[in-house]
Amino acid sequence: MTPELFFSPADYAVFEIGLTSNAEYDGERERVRDKLTSLHKLIYPEIRKRKWDLHPHWMTQWLISASRISPATARIDFMTLRYSKPETTIKLMKRELIDDFGHFYANAMLAARIDREGFAVELYISEKAWVDAQNLKNRLQDGTEQRGHFRNLLAELGGEHTFRLSQFVRGEERPIGYQEIVRAKASRLVNVGMLNSTMEKYKPGGHELRLGITYTPDDERLSADTIGDEILARIAQLYPIYAFLSWSPKNDYRKKDADHRGDLGQKSTRRSR
């Protein structure tokens, strides 16, 4: 017998083109939000038990990304349950680097994401998370030992994980959206030449980086009985890479004299806290 899936076809449908900026579907998105909240209640006790340095937003209303259309969020192409740095580290970053890192997208995160294509568990570094992006790029430039360690972490992911670099493009009158620059199986980046050429393309502050697994809506691993364990298994795989690049006072590979903003590119109206 086919298992009951956690997300219904209607959950994915609210992210279809034409509905993403329609406030009449806020109620439908609230249903998806409630499901993501229930996933948090399911997996977060285990995250704490395993002592991963992963934290939900300290403001409970931002546990899940925005679900309602507002002046600050003109469209909602996806929703995420996301974990990142503790509030103390984010406040330290704001004090030392003079920028608003309270927006969760300004920090690297591990996220469970739903959009019209399916469900994903991924490491996500938005173009706003320039500190973590620089930390990753500079750490990989710190010598062959660091690159070798990172390649070993990628090798341990297995064959399903995909690495993506994208850039937001804005037209003359309206945003066009994100265009992919690189899409490759993470296993390909184990090759030192491929890793080096990919990171040469990566512009902290100008590109978003996604590394993870996307499931089709009918994937049986997303059944109501198994989705919690599936998410935890994928976080366990991605967490060492997140820890490798996530900036903290003890993991600081940024160049002190660097232009900290880099190429910030254009801001997206789809971003939310």
Q: Report the pLDDT value the prediction gives residue 105, as an integer from 0 to 100.
A: 87
What DSSP character marks residue 243?
A: H
* 248 touches 43 (CB < 8 A): no
pLDDT of residue 167: 93
In whole angstroms, give the CA distance from residue 206 to residue 45.
35
Place of tokens 């806020």: 26
pLDDT at 254: 85
**What's the pLDDT at 30?**
96
Phi, psi dihedral angles at 134 (to 5 degrees): -65, -40
Amino acid identity, residue 78?
F
| pLDDT confidence of residue 261 | 40
What pLDDT shows up at residue 232? 98
Please report, for residues 13, 138, 145, 260, the alpha-carbon distance to residue 142 in angstroms, rounded to integers and kept in the order given: 45, 6, 8, 18
**Number of Cβ within a 10 Å radius of residue 268:** 20
Amino acid at 266: Q
| Cα 143–chain centre separation | 26
Phi-psi region of 18 (alpha: psi -120 to 50; beta: other; left: phi over 0): left
Backbone φ and ψ of 211, nearest 5°: -140, 115
Residue 60: half-sphere exposure toward Cβ, Cα within 13 Å: 3
- What is the per-residue pLDDT for 268? 36
Residue 232 Cα distances to 11, 137, 228, angstroms: 22, 27, 6
Terminal Cα distance for the chain, rounded: 40
* Coil, helix or strand at residue 5: strand
Residues 212 and 122: beta-carbon distance below 8 Å: yes
Closest by CA to 242, choosing from 206, 210, 196, is: 210
At position 158, the amino acid (one-letter code) is G
Q: What whole-number distance in Å separates Cα of residue 192 and Cα of residue 189?
A: 7
Indicate the pairing of strand 118-125 with strand 109-115: antiparallel
Give CA–CA dist 142/28, Å, rounded. 47
The tens-digit pLDDT sequence of the chain (273 residues) is 778 999 999 999 999 988 998 899 999 999 999 999 999 999 999 999 999 999 999 989 999 999 999 988 888 999 999 999 999 999 898 888 867 776 788 999 999 999 999 999 999 999 999 999 999 999 999 889 999 999 999 999 988 999 999 998 876 665 567 789 999 999 999 999 999 999 999 999 999 999 999 999 999 999 999 999 999 999 999 999 999 999 999 999 986 434 444 433 333 333 444
